[in-house]
Amino acid sequence: MTSSDLPLSNPDLLAVGTAFAVERQVLTPELKQSIEDKERIAAGLLLCLSMTVGQTIADVKIEGLDRIYPPGRNQGLIDFKLVCRLPTQAQVQLGICILPFADAEVVSTACTKLLVYKDFGLDRLCLIRPSDLMTNVRQLPTCLPKLLSTDIGGNFIPLKSNDVLFLLTTLSVFQQKQQHGITNELIFAYLSKEELLVKNELIKSILVSAQF
């Protein structure tokens, strides 16, 4: 029996559920401030995606994750690379960039750099950003619509507050696992049993974007 085969009634898995509830309660009041925490959101997404490697979600197989090279030129702008296999059997190197900032100047500088994402060996770019920051087209830096044009091939994925809360909660549960008396295996078993990763809308949207 593997960890993912453990029944949900198992007390250890119930302890994981309690850990998620506790960490979620702690993070919820800070959510408004956390929405611009690019580093932690990216870490949470990387963690969640790492647990899906080898699985097929939205008809796309997740084959691996990697850093962006050269790191000096990227300067942490593109958070990581997702390697996936499409239904056509074509492999896609998908760059993941979380851009949660409201400051137009910061976004403009970032988008200018992102226009050359293919220089990092990427086939496509997935731009993850709060949808409320994308509604007023007139206030968007001109390079952002260009990045998302069919010519450049960037894809926009809306980042919702519940997405941020789930990613940060999952990250915190792993970081505080000793305090909660649980293990990596039990956390993964819980996430698998509850289908919190394979049915996650953000993850599915990212994988769908790899096909276009």
pLDDT 10s digits, 27-62: 999 998 899 999 999 999 999 999 999 999 999 999
pLDDT at 153: 87
The two tokens of residue 106 are 């910061």
As a whole number of angstroms, the distance between CA 12 and CA 17 comes to 9
Query: Domain ranges in the chain?
Result: 3-209
Give the pLDDT means over successive 10-residue stretches in the chain (212 positions): 50 92 96 92 98 96 96 94 94 96 87 93 94 69 83 92 97 97 94 95 95 80
Is residue 165 within 8 Å of residue 27, measured between CB atoms? yes
pLDDT at 144: 84
pLDDT at 84: 96
b/e string for 161-196 if b means 16 or more Cβ within 10 A? eebbbbbbbbbbbbeebeebebeeebbbbbbbbeeb
Q: How far is CA 48 from the centre of its chain?
A: 7
The two tokens of residue 146 are 């260009």
pLDDT at 3: 44
